[in-house]
Structure 1
Amino acid sequence: MHSNWINKLLLAAVVTVLAGCTTSKEQLMPHGDRSMQDIWHQQTGEGGSGQVARRQLLDARQSLRRPLEETDRQAALSEQTRYTRTAANEIRRQFQRLPNPDLVMYVFPHLTGTDPVPVPGYSTVFPLYQRIQYAMPGERTEAY
């Protein structure tokens, strides 16, 4: 019983393979009289009706064009500079410096050294953080 099922499956596979081999390429995909290069030239506009369509498209574009005036040129230039990417503005935009407040410290008069030498009182300014800290992209940098 089990071998009968396998024999039928094997017979169906052999018949399918033999039926596939009997089809000819020309019957399945007729070639025609045009070469691939002829089809390419026609579709890219290098001959035939493609060239006419290309010329019509260029004429339509030319009729829609108008010269830019000086105000339009200046507006376009300023608009483009806002979106121009440079290394400096990319770093500033993505990695903003975190605030590093200055601290003012008063040093009281004191004695210093092996021979006690008097030092007058003075004020000094130093940053809160030793290094410059940067925010990660997307991290909040405004005041809380």
Structure 2
Amino acid sequence: MSRIWIERLAVVLAVVALAGCATSKEKLLTHDDRTMLDIWNQETGGPAGSGRASRELLDARQALRRPLTDTDVQTAPGVQTRYTRTAQNEIYRQFHRLPNPDLVMYVFPHLTGTDPVPVPGYSTVFPLYQRVQYALPGERVEDY
């Protein structure tokens, strides 16, 4: 009895799979006389630089902008000079290496190979992190 159900299930799955392929490409992807530029303009509210939509976008951008205060203007050169290349900056590192501690692992005495050869116990050292990481300027101030 279970074989009959398996055969019926296989027939139903085959019918469903063939029904999925019965749709034509022209029904799914209609071809009008519209170009991609026409579709873009329709979806974004018109061509760039003209119309009400572009004006609303400009107003929204203007609302997000904030004016610079006097303290911002006065502190900007000091902040920018830290990133400027000078002879002193070339001597002193801007991007310090982050600490990568060494781990010491002890390997116990063991036998190895097809012919059991004894290997004495030993210690090995390897870094904690696989790659060397660097800090951004001003991110780490203490020396290590």
TM-score (norm 2): 0.41
> How does the TM-score come out when normalised to structure 1?
0.41
Q: Which has the higher helix share?
A: 1
Task: Report the structure number with the largest CA radius of gyration.
Answer: 1
